[in-house]
Structure 1
Amino acid sequence: MRYIDDDLDNKTILITGGAGFIGSNLAFYFQENHPDAKVVIVDSFRSGEKLSNGNLKSFGHFKNLIGFRGEIISGDINDRDLLLNLELNYKFDYIFHEAAISDTTALEQDLMVKTNVNAYKDLLELAIKHNANMIYASSAATYGNAASPQIVGREAPQNVYGFSKLCMDNLSREYMQNSNISIVGLRYFNVYGPREYFKNTTASMVLQFGHQILLGKNPRLFEDSDKILRDFIYIEDIIQANIKAMNPKKSGIYNVGTGKARSFQDIVDILQRELGTTLSCEYIPNPFIGSYQFHTEADIASTKEALDYEPKFEMEDGIKAYISEIKRVFEEEVK
């Protein structure tokens, strides 16, 4: 689906984190809908390097970009030489900044702030030099345990990831006041959809439950999962928000969700209907009580106003659209 009528011929678009989940979906959106735009991807790609929690430092994977015909650069956004190369050898019109240490359980505060905050400032300076509009990934993690609905301005991050994203937002507001480019921060809620598999254990529970069911295993949920609610949003609506943020009515920080909270039990029930299974659910004690969000729901009024954003996918629609990909990944990567 094409979300803007703008002519992007001869425009150059930079996507950082372009081999990741959201970045790769953006890359293919442009390739399919604006084939005459030049798309440049920067991604550090995965290596064997791990964080202290045992998770990979980078989730970027070449398989997310199979079929992509644009330019791909392997590099780390913390590398000043890389940023200088981008500054001197390209002229960007739009920058989509998706690269980050995105693991909410990461303990490396120094790496998190360096990568998510300091490197972002360098990219903002690049955007200003190129007169390129900036669209970047913020996060609902900025809200921590704030009461629903989550509203921009009522943040209380509970981990260093959420803190780093809030720092990005604060930095952005400062630049909004002193630059001529548009700057839009998008606070993603719980995203699911194609090209997330290589996030490993941080992939959505939609995918993880789907694969449990396809393996014939009883879905395992925390006790009272019908009362644990999240704003789950399908990747297509994330892409819609990003594209509409290219030329917003107003720079700002905006929530990107559906505005509706759904339960983890809902996910399993919808998956079972789509997959034609009737497996019994197993309920286990929730070890995260006290450090766990039990309800998230995005207030998207300002997003609708500034970006002309309107979510298209209820959870039933999103899972239905996703189910064939869940099966394909299961056959090719899991089984």
Structure 2
Amino acid sequence: MTDGRNEAGVVIVTGAAGFVGSNLVAEIMRRDPASIIVAVDDCRSGSFANIVEACERAGVGPFIGDFLAMSTRDLDWGDLLEAIAPDAVYHLAAITDTTVSDERLMMGDNVEGFRDLVESCALAGTPLVYASSAATYGAPPEADSRRPLPESAAGSPSNVYGFSKLVMENLHAHVNEAIAAERGERPHIVGLRYFNVFGPGESRKGKMASMAYQLASQIRSGGRPRIFTDGSQARDQVHVADVVDCTLAGAAPGVKPGVYNCGSGVATTFNDVVDAVRAGLGVSEPDAPTDYFEMPAEIRAFYQSYTCADLSTVKAGLGWSPRRKPIDAIREYAAFLASREGR
């Protein structure tokens, strides 16, 4: 185990073997090759291979950090923070399958895996950036009128995953109040509501892989791209590199603690996603026509047919804006998938 006596900076990344986490690890290595990364992941859904491949894509050489194969619920965060004195903790570990209906499992993993962590970071003065989700919004009036979602619109999640993230934000708020009352200032804790993330490194996500990945896989296997009738549904699609950039911005000195949207700020229709994927693969519409089908009844009740991040608050609080336009990024990603055989 590394310890706080190291001169190099130490950071902890939970969920490090997952899609976003592995990309985050590689980007930290690229920006600060001397940093010591302590990766935490119980490997139930993540894989070491994600870290290996992310490092290869980033050209940073092999992963040289530490790895704790543990659930965040099983760690004594107070002892760990004291032992290694990290510069920051990035908490991405969670059950992210929005179709999971086992409420006890979801709440136990996501909420109880966060409770000790957020309290310990606040008490130790360790900057913490954690992944929340656009699932906290459910379907507010702004979505019905197809307007960008401000942070204040959250609070009516349509599934237990979104509810677990909402409760995490509540814990964050409670800790803020307690520390501010005691010390006169809020701790450096930033929550980021990730919207629909896509990009390299998601090949092991299975049914939870992005729409762009799923459509590209369908076309590349000789099938037709399948989307819900009539393709007018629209989601905020954001490239993983932008999400990683936003996540790192959350730990920078001088930022304003709080909960922020992390998206592209653009609602891209499913029809436009299909067109971008076909273009990236170099496939014409006649060769891969869209196959429309009705939304299954079992997901209709909690499905978000429209999401779009209002980015005004994150621009002001973190000084962050996405660099990639969704359509261009999806087209480039589809071409990447074709060239890298789906990774």
| TM-score interval (norm. to shorter) | 0.7 to 0.9
2:15 to 14, 17, 41: 17
Shift of 1:175: 1.6
Match of 1:54 in 2: none
Output the CA distance in 1 between the equivalents of 2:78 and 2:153.
36
TM-score (norm 2): 0.86
Match of 1:243 in 2: 248
Match of 1:121 in 2: 115
- Per-residue CA deviations over 1:64-109 (Å, capped at 9, x if unaligned) read 011322111111112145x466245321120000001111111221
Contact between 2:122 and 2:189, CA under 8 Å: does it hold in 1?
no
Match of 1:285 in 2: 294
Output the CA distance in 1 between the equivalents of 2:301 and 2:91.
32
The question of 1:233 aligning with 2:238 is answered yes
Match of 1:137 in 2: 131
The question of 1:61 aligning with 2:47 is answered yes
Output the CA distance in 1 between the equivalents of 2:251 and 2:242.
15
Contact between 1:189 and 1:233, CA under 8 Å: does it hold in 2?
yes
- Per-residue CA deviations over 1:269-290 (Å, capped at 9, x if unaligned) read 0111111112111111122444
Match of 1:72 in 2: 67
Letter in 1 for 2:71: D
For the residue of structure 2 that corresponds to 1:293, the secondary structure is: coil
Output the CA distance in 2 between the equivalents of 1:127 and 1:289.
39
For 1:102-251, list aligned pairs within 5 A.
102-146=96-140, 147-148=142-143, 149-155=148-154, 156-179=156-179, 181-225=187-231, 227-247=232-252, 248-251=254-257
Contact between 1:176 and 1:251, CA under 8 Å: does it hold in 2?
no
Contact between 1:17 and 1:60, CA under 8 Å: does it hold in 2?
yes
Shift of 1:113: 1.5
Q: How much is the aligned-residue C-alpha RMSD, in angstroms?
A: 1.9
Output the CA distance in 2 between the equivalents of 1:116 and 1:243.
21
The question of 1:39 aligning with 2:37 is answered yes
**Could you list the runs of 4 or more consecutive aligned residues of structure 1 that deviate by over 4 angstroms after TM superposition?**
none
- Per-residue CA deviations over 1:105-158 (Å, capped at 9, x if unaligned) read 112211211221122111113313442100000000000111332221222111
Identity across aligned pairs (percent)? 36
Output the CA distance in 2 between the equivalents of 1:152 and 1:319.
26
Output the CA distance in 1 between the equivalents of 2:215 and 2:28.
30
Shift of 1:185: 0.3
TM-score (norm 1): 0.88
- Per-residue CA deviations over 1:264-317 (Å, capped at 9, x if unaligned) read 111110111111112111111122444322211111100000111111111233
- Per-residue CA deviations over 1:215-264 (Å, capped at 9, x if unaligned) read 12111111111x10000000111011111111353110000111110111
Letter in 1 for 2:132: S
The question of 1:90 aligning with 2:84 is answered yes
Shift of 1:161: 0.8
Letter in 1 for 2:101: L
Letter in 2 for 1:21: F
Unpaired segments of 5 or more residues in structure 2? 1-6, 53-61, 180-185
For the residue of structure 2 that corresponds to 1:137, the secondary structure is: strand
Match of 1:270 in 2: 276
Output the CA distance in 2 between the equivalents of 1:167 and 1:102.
15
Unpaired segments of 5 or more residues in structure 1? 1-8, 47-58
Contact between 1:92 and 1:130, CA under 8 Å: does it hold in 2?
no
Moved more, 310-319 or 229-238: 310-319
Output the CA distance in 1 between the equivalents of 2:14 and 2:339.
27
Match of 1:56 in 2: none
User: Structure 1's 326 and 272: CA in aligned 2 closer, same or farther, altered over 3 A?
Assistant: same
Contact between 1:211 and 1:330, CA under 8 Å: does it hold in 2?
no
Number of residue pairs the alignment of both structures matches? 311
Output the CA distance in 2 between the equivalents of 1:316 and 1:153.
27
Match of 2:322 in 1: 311
For the residue of structure 2 that corresponds to 1:23, the secondary structure is: helix
